[in-house]
């Protein structure tokens, strides 16, 4: 028998979250962001649930190719543009739209031979300082692009560094508006946080919104808001079972480094999940876990294949946890109780994004179909 660990991808939940994102900006078209293999969910697995989108946005040309193989004929946007000149051939062949964030990408386009001019999204750096033209250089980049026969329509895009905090949009919006207000072309600004928090407000409301993490049921502005506040449903459940229980006495400790010591007699459970499955090793004592749908906590250090949980809350509820009891690391338990991935991420000092992307290849994945 294989180890009892399993990840479940919930397609109806993805559809629900897609509808939530649409409702937050009903007039905009929506890019479903599926980079990093759909945030760890698997592009092929989520495709049926997300095909109601207007387009898919990602970074990797191989992933774009997979979407075309699945039959997607609509828009695909490469958020970082091309990485070398010959990538443009694939863009022409698969009609991929691509970001243009630096002069070299314009040089490559100028030298590219194509029958079909490309649709590009010119990217402005409004303070994130990763990719894009500064507001000062943006208009000359636009002028250069506009003069190229290889380029069809030019849209404008920027990416917020602080969309999840109050007041995080004012400065970048001002820069963007000043540099682009009189230029033709569609606009795309919002990630999930900007979409959910301000999607219905001008000037955040744009032609295209780019929804990533919200599709996957994690609150983009946790802990200011929780996924339930935004009515998002978990799309990934990581679950396993108890392999053993241990009765501890006061003073007994648990696991490597004895990072947890019992202050009174207590029953703990040993679950078949460890950091080699993608569960974060740095998750702290107290990180929430569900056992048979009852919320309890991690105790002791996470090891490669196992972790330990406090069974006290189950005993207090009159339950009898033991070998084979269901353990939900995040997502939805069999009894319907939800453990938001954001709560687990918080216990591990990270974000839901990282946890969902990090589920290891050794974990079998099943899909709850539509
Ligand atoms: C990843 C990404 C997004 C989506 O961000 P979320 O926070 O997951 O919604 C949007 N735009 C760009 C450019 C990205 O790289």
Domain ranges for the chain: 11-219, 236-368
Mean pLDDT taken over the chain: 97
- 3-class DSSP state of 274: coil
- Catalytic position from the list 35, 138, 216, 275: 35
Burial (CB count <10 Å: 0-12, 13-18, 19+), residue 110? middle
Ligand 1 in contact with 33 (CB < 6 A)?
A: yes
Does residue 113 carry a catalytic annotation?
no
Q: Whose CA is nearest to atom 6 of ligand 1?
A: 212
Q: Which are the contacts of 4, defined by CB distance < 8 A and separation ≥ 6?
A: 240, 241, 272
Average pLDDT over residues 255-281: 97
Class of 236-368 in CATH: mainly beta
283 and 344 Cβ atoms separated by less than 8 Å = yes
pLDDT of residue 235: 98
Class of 11-219 in CATH: alpha beta
- Of ligand 1's listed atoms, the one at least distance from the Cα of 79 is 13
pLDDT of residue 2: 85
Helices (H), 95-148: 103-110, 135-146
Rounded to the nearest whole angstrom, what is the distance from the C-alpha of residue 148 to the centroid of ligand 1? 28
Rounded to the nearest whole angstrom, what is the distance from the C-alpha of residue 210 to the centroid of ligand 1? 6
Inform me whether the pLDDT recorded for 202 exceeds 80.
Answer: no
Q: Whose CA is nearest to atom 1 of ligand 1?
A: 212
216 and 235 Cβ atoms separated by less than 8 Å = yes
Distance CA 361, CA 350 (A): 21
Ligand 1 in contact with 15 (CB < 6 A)?
A: no
Rounded to the nearest whole angstrom, what is the distance from the C-alpha of residue 280 to the centroid of ligand 1? 23
The pLDDT tens digits for 24-77 are 999 999 999 999 999 999 999 999 999 999 999 999 999 999 999 999 999 999
Q: Alpha carbon 355 to chain centroid distance?
A: 9
Residue written as tokens 């699945």? 70
Distance CA 76, CA 57 (A): 6
Handedness of CA 114, 120, 125, 128 (dihedral sign): negative
Do the domains 11-219 and 236-368 sit in the same CATH topology, yes or no? no
Does residue 256 carry a catalytic annotation?
yes
- Of ligand 1's listed atoms, the one at least distance from the Cα of 59 is 15
């Amino acid at each position: 028998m294989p180890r009892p660990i399993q990840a479940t991808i919930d397609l109806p939940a993805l559809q629900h979250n897609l509808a939530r994102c649409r409702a937050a900006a009903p007039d905009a078209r929506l890019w479903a962001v599926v980079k990093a293999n759909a945030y760890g969910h698997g592009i092929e697995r989520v495709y049926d649930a997300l095909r109601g989108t207007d387009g898919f946005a990602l970074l990797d040309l191989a992933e774009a190719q997979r979407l075309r193989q699945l039959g997607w004929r609509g828009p695909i946007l490469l958020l970082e543009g091309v990485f070398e000149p010959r990538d443009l051939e694939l863009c022409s062949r698969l009609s991929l739209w691509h970001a243009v964030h630096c002069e070299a990408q314009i040089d490559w386009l100028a030298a590219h031979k194509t029958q079909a001019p490309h649709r590009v999204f010119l990217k402005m750096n409004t303070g994130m300082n990763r990719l894009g033209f500064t507001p000062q250089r943006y208009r000359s980049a636009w002028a250069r692009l506009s003069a190229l026969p290889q380029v069809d329509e030019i849209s404008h895009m920027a990416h917020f560094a602080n969309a999840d905090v109050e007041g995080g949009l004012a400065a970048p919006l001002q820069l963007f508006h000043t540099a682009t207000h009189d230029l033709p072309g569609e606009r795309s600004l919002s990630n999930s946080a900007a979409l959910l928090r301000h999607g219905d407000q001008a000037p955040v409301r744009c032609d295209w919104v780019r929804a990533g993490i919200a599709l996957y049921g994690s609150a983009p502005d946790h802990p200011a808001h929780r996924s339930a506040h935004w009515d998002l449903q978990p799309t990934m459940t990581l679950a396993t079972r108890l392999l053993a229980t241990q009765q501890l006495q006061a003073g007994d400790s648990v696991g490597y480094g004895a990072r947890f010591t019992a202050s009174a007699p207590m029953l703990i459970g040993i679950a078949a999940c460890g950091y080699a499955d993608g569960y974060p090793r740095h998750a702290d004592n107290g990180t929430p876990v569900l056992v048979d749908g009852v919320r309890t906590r991690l105790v002791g250090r996470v090891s490669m294949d196992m972790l330990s949980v406090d069974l006290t809350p189950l005993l207090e509820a009159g339950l009898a946890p033991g070998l084979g009891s269901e353990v939900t690391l995040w997502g939805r338990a069999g009894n319907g109780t939800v453990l938001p991935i954001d709560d687990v991420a918080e216990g591990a000092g990270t974000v839901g994004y990282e946890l969902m992307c990090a589920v290891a290849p050794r974990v079998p994945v099943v899909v709850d179909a539509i």
